Structure 1
């Protein structure tokens, strides 16, 4: 298990987590153009409480996230499209999933965010699987024992998804119009998470393998 008090996004820079519906890969500069196009959406800006950035600012943000000591990010790919077609990662992107260390006094707490940006991929279990894979990764490799999610009150689908995977509502902020949900990973939850993600295949990621890195068949 990763035991250092401080870690950065670099811990996952060589990691691919392949699931049934989604595959998680590190956020690289190759993903920025598609990500930038997503974030032009007023809907996504509202749901993620984000401000629009220029393409250059988006590249700078990607670089800073790679070095930050309190963030870990994966880009979410469509596994079927990525593994069966001659497609680049950019063409297979459906969203992203993030972990933030928000409590400097307790490095066991991680705030999780999931965004499925492609409308055609919503409601198909992509977000749920990506969230479970990320939580399992955070639990095993980063030593996290508490997960929190802060979600806008209007985002009923995301709130419902987190509640289905055992998050409990712990507070509502009416000023920011968001709800906080939490999961404390006791032994029972740990075993449940491990069972839910037992099929995930952890592979080595290479920047030289941006096109169809699983198979050419």
Structure 2
């Protein structure tokens, strides 16, 4: 999605940056994992296909994607070495443009269970409410992914459907005025900055 191509969201544990071609090799490496393929219901792609997917997601108006970086290490170290996962918002319901399907993946095992996924999800939801006009969220999660289901329930999502064929649970959260206040309170520490400016050393102009 072009709207977030120069947007950085800086939180306490995580920093969200746009998904660029520079992130593709590490992302592709992650997605060779059978565990991640199973948890995300994904098929393995070639590196070339992954580059095509990244370009598509950057251009498509119905997909908003951020790469999740370790905020303690970036800026400072290379983005690729600081990558811990990704977070997505799919606006694919043509009948209801205010509905966003949120998806979080913490690909690095050492970062799981430490609040990185929770903060990244809250930051993406807040961005969706503030910048994309989202008023309803859904999350579709494999039944075996109990940790992710538990996390979304802690974020006030409620289970609304179970698909036994795809072995998938659908959770939903409607953003009432009360939920909106809660969400913005949870993310009031987040700073929105320019990706271009953060990537450039002081005094260096892009040619």
State the TM-score, normalizing by the size of structure 1. 0.91
| 1:26 corresponds to | 18
Among 44, 49, 53, the alignment partner of 2:45 is: 53
1:102 Cα shift? 2.4
State the SS of the aligned residue for 1:199.
coil
Among 71, 76, 82, the alignment partner of 2:68 is: 76
Q: Is the 8 A contact 1:88 1:210 kept in 2?
A: no
Alignment of 1:149-160 (within 5 A): 149-160=139-150
| 2:100 corresponds to | 110
Unaligned runs of 5+ in 1: 1-8, 212-217
1:207 Cα shift? 8.1
How far apart, CA to CA, are the structure 1 residues paired with 2:14 and 2:198? 21
Alignment of 1:1-217 (within 5 A): 9-83=1-75, 86-206=76-196, 209=199
Q: Is the 8 A contact 2:20 2:54 kept in 1?
A: yes
**Partner deviation per Cα, 1:195-215 (whole Å, 9 max, x = no partner):** 00000010001188178xxxx
State the TM-score, normalizing by the size of structure 2. 0.95
Which consecutive segments of 4 or more residues in structure 1 shift more than 3 A?
none
How far apart, CA to CA, are the structure 1 residues paired with 2:51 and 2:20? 9
| 2:205 corresponds to | none
1:69 Cα shift? 1.7
**Partner deviation per Cα, 1:103-138 (whole Å, 9 max, x = no partner):** 101100000000000000000000000000000000
How far apart, CA to CA, are the structure 2 residues paired with 1:107 and 1:181? 18
